[in-house]
A and B are shown apart, each in its own frame.
Chain A
Amino acid sequence: MENLGYLFAAYTIIFAVIFLYVLFIWRRQAALDAELRSLEARMTALTSASPETVAPERSDI
């Protein structure tokens, strides 16, 4: 089983990096969700203050 360490290292690095990339995407998604909630709150506040001022299309998101 010569070179088993190289084989193990290659496959471990590949899966570790892919896992980290998925984690990065997942964290970005969490940040986007938070931003979306903040936008929705601002939109609600704005439309309740003056309904005729703005009516952004909800289908945009």
Chain B
Amino acid sequence: MNNSAIRNGLGYATLALMLTALFMVFDYVPPEAEQGIAQLIFYFHVPLAWVAFASFGLVAIAGVFYLWLGDQLWDDLGYAAAETGMVFCTLMIVAGSIWAKPIWGTWWTWDSRLTTTFILWLMYGGYLMLRASADDTPQVARFAAVLGIVAVLDVPIVIASVRLWRTIHPAVLVTKQGGHGLEDPRMVATLLVCLAAFTALWAWLLMLRFTQLRTRSKMGALAMRIAFATAAASDGK
């Protein structure tokens, strides 16, 4: 099976899973008793966080391999993962903020979970600004790899922040008493389908962007060879 077939298959799987997830969120799962329908934002907020963290983990892994092997492939993978991770991290923050307004009465508060997440967003924003503002040289790629490795250290801090510090952010998936806080099996099923839908979407977008960046890198190398050959041909005349 070639890459194009895998990409198309992932695209259709994403569409099917996303439609199923939407049906489950709006027609199947019961809203939480205290929060009402605003709690339904949770079913996309958590998967967005999961794919953002997975992306940032991949940026770090790609960074390690780039520093170790120096292969452009790992740099392209890290760049693609950082970009998709940033899209999902931004959406996670926005969705959380919209949920917070009716539940907490404010769009934003400097709570430990929110603050550490904002720091994470800033660091990967810095990563993308570095990539956008400089040429694609090996030096920039090395800087980006190191930044990607350092920035990922914030992910476990974000996850543990609800246990380490006093926070008003709910700990639904792993409560402080142990176990999860989803009282109905339909809530668990809906969350799992939403997680699958966003994982498929992430894999599809990542694959699209990674393939593009690989093509761009190879075209850059080819353009350089053509330029050298053109110069050699004019010297020979």
Task: State the A residues within 8 Å of B (CB).
Answer: 1-4, 6-7, 9-11, 13-14, 17-18, 21-22, 25, 28-29, 32, 35-36, 39, 42-43, 46, 49-50, 53-54, 56, 60-61
Contact = CB atoms under 8 A, between A and B. Distances in A.
A10 B212 contact: no
B191 interface: no
19 contacts: A2-B36, A2-B37, A3-B36, A3-B38, A7-B37, A7-B40, A13-B94, A14-B91, A14-B95, A17-B90, A18-B87, A22-B205, A25-B208, A36-B219, A42-B226, A46-B229, A53-B233, A53-B236, A56-B226
A11 B40 CA distance: 10
Interface residues of B, number: 35
Contacts of A9: 98
B176 interface: no
Given A13-B94, A53-B229, A56-B225, A39 B44 contact: no
Given A14-B48, A25-B205, A7 B87 contact: no
Contact of B232 (A6, A32, A42, A53): A53
Contacts of A28: 212
Contacts of A32: 212, 215-216, 219
A45 to B, nearest CB: 9
B180 interface: no
Contacts of A29: 212
Interface string B84-99: 0001001100110011
B226 A43 contact: yes
Contacts of A17: 87, 90-91
B186 interface: no
A18 B233 contact: no
Nearest to B41: A10
Contact of B218 (A7, A25, A50, A61): A61
Interface in B181-233: 201, 205, 208-209, 212, 215-216, 218-219, 221-223, 225-226, 229-230, 232-233
A40 to B, nearest CB: 10
Interface in B32-51: 36-38, 40-41, 44, 48
B138 interface: no
Contacts of B99: 6, 10
B212 A13 contact: no
Nearest to B223: A39
Given A46-B233, A60-B218, A3 B212 contact: no
A3 to B, nearest CB: 4
Contacts of B94: 10, 13-14
Nearest to B25: A11
Nearest to B208: A25
